[in-house]
Amino acid sequence: LTCYRYTHIYKSALPPSEGGMVDLGVQGCIIAEVISWILVISCAAIYTNLVHSEVSHAVQATKLRRDAAATTRMLELVCDVVVELDGNLAIKDNATRFAAMLSLNPQKVQGSCLQEYMLHDDDRERFEQQLAATKEDSEGSLPGVMHVTMRG
């Protein structure tokens, strides 16, 4: 069927003055058929890999969100207050428990730096040094414990 289509297309593409009849022959039809199948299979393989990659990333992102939520819940059971910080060490959420502990307005706490609430300068420096050390050795380091004096 494909050979007939290719032969028909090539025959109709030539002007009648040049003979009008082109015969691809059996070899030409087989080569055209093989090339078309190679293209179809290649496109299908690329599409399959793309879909697999997207699904894999979506599953991994979902798993990371669940792990983070489970870790936060576990920390909330053990700790008085759990505060999530962004890359600039600013408080991400309104942190109602943190604000209540320091007798502050929860809306004012969100977006502020955690170091603002540390009473002593040496506590701020130790906190920043510990976070910098954790960033440098993120593969093998475990979370550290640090006691600081907070103010409201």
Q: What is the mean pLDDT of residues 99-113?
A: 87
Q: In angstroms, rounded to a whole number, what is the distance separating the alpha carbons of residues 100 and 152?
A: 9
CB distance 68 to 84 below 8 Å: no
More confident residue, 131 or 53: 53
> What is the per-residue pLDDT across 136-151, written as a single tens digit (0 to 9) for each?
766 655 566 777 888 7
- Identify the pLDDT of residue 64: 92
Answer with the residue of higher pLDDT: 17 or 45.
Answer: 45
Q: Mean pLDDT across the stretch 100-126? A: 88
* Residue 13 near residue 24 (C-beta atoms within 8 A): no
- Rounded to an integer, what distance in angstroms lies between the CA atom of residue 102 and that of residue 80? 12
Structure confidence by residue, pLDDT tens digits, 6-43: 445 555 554 555 544 455 577 777 888 889 999 999 99
- 48 Cβ contact list (under 8 Å, min separation 6): none
- Asked whether the predicted pLDDT for residue 2 surpasses 60, the reply is no
pLDDT per position as a tens digit, 57-96: 999 999 999 998 898 888 888 888 888 888 888 888 878 8
Q: Which two tokens stand for residue 24?
A: 């691809």
